[in-house]
Amino acid sequence: MKGLKPETRGWLEATGFTVRDDSLWLAALTHGSMGEKDDYERLEFLGDRVLGLSIAHWLYERSEAPEGKLAQRLNAIVSRQMCATVARGIGLSEHMRISKQARADGGTDSDNILGDVMESLLGAQFLDNGFAAARDLVHQLWRPALESGAGESKHPKSALQEWAAGNRRKPPEYEVVDRSGPDHAAQFTVRVKVHKVGEATATANSKGEAEKAAAKEFMEKFG
């Protein structure tokens, strides 16, 4: 594997990373399409946990919100879309090592790839410099999202959708399991389930309100 390009090293350091072990950072920026022994996948696994704990720590220190609300904000802030947004903000795509074919297929602007590489860089920062340095950098790079109140007042269905995505689950499935009463005063019971997590039900006087209530109930139970 080649060494880090001077412009890539300069970019990493200007962004706030501290580069000691070149091989870590090369791996963190290398997409599987390059066919090299070390790519970003293992570091992304680690960085995902570094990010989650860093954001959870920030929210715990600065909010008196109950656990369910903290989880809602956490899931919005560590979502794949948010990671990709942060990645675009620091100009990550220009420094990814990705094959010509994957680049031609739009890989450098893929939320999934950008989000994964962003997390892999956090994994490298943790291994090369320790948790405190990684946490402080997360707080710096995610500050706009943290201070904007992201995830604070989302519609329950949106919050559940983000929660499922953030936890690598299939999208929630809603089903009307009962309808009762006359047309002018109908009652709908809706069940929402997330594969391999669980389900929740709620009843309201419209299908939409029942879905909303079921999503809220689900988040309170499992979020």
User: Distance (Å, rounded) from C-alpha 162 to C-alpha 158?
Assistant: 6
Decide: helix, strand or coil at residue 154.
Answer: coil
- Name the token pair of 194: 């997330």
User: Distance (Å, rounded) from C-alpha 152 to C-alpha 31?
Assistant: 34
User: Distance (Å, rounded) from C-alpha 103 to C-alpha 125?
Assistant: 25
User: Distance (Å, rounded) from C-alpha 118 to C-alpha 48?
Assistant: 9
Decide: helix, strand or coil at residue 59.
Answer: helix
Identity (one letter) of the amino acid at 39? D
User: Distance (Å, rounded) from C-alpha 136 to C-alpha 122?
Assistant: 11
Catalytic residues: 48, 119
